[in-house]
Amino acid sequence: MATIDIASELDGTVLFGGLDEDDLRRLAGIARESNLKTGDTLFDQGDESDGLYIVVSGIVRIYLTADDTREATINLLEEGEVIGEIA
């Protein structure tokens, strides 16, 4: 994704939407794109977050594992939402 596209994605979020264009471009310059497929894990319960992620497309399911077999969905994040501030 080009830097200007990342800046547009940042601008479309509640967290970064109020920043001016220069600040958005600076953030975009240090951002990196991650592509996940259905079923991929971004991080596991209890992991320390190594970054902040913006959902550009698709849905991210946030869940807790009750035991080794049961999962409880606690949130579904959609386009423009942010994850990773606390993992």
The secondary structure element, H or E, covering residue 28 is helix 21-30
Q: Based on the fold, state whether residues 29 and 70 are members of the same structural domain.
A: no
Sequence-distant (6+) residues with CB within 8 A of 12 are 80
Q: Based on the fold, state whether residues 27 and 67 are members of the same structural domain.
A: no
Residue 87: the pLDDT is 47
The domain in which residue 20 lies consists of: 1-33
| Structure token pair of residue 80 | 């423009």
**Whether the predicted pLDDT of 3 surpasses 60:** no
Q: Based on the fold, state whether residues 50 and 68 are members of the same structural domain.
A: yes
Q: Based on the fold, state whether residues 10 and 49 are members of the same structural domain.
A: no
Q: Based on the fold, state whether residues 82 and 64 are members of the same structural domain.
A: yes
Number of domains forming the structure of the chain: 2
pTM: 0.77
Q: Based on the fold, state whether residues 45 and 86 are members of the same structural domain.
A: yes
Cα distance between residue 41 and residue 78, in whole Å: 16
At 27-61, the pLDDT tens digits run 999 998 889 999 999 988 888 888 889 998 999 99
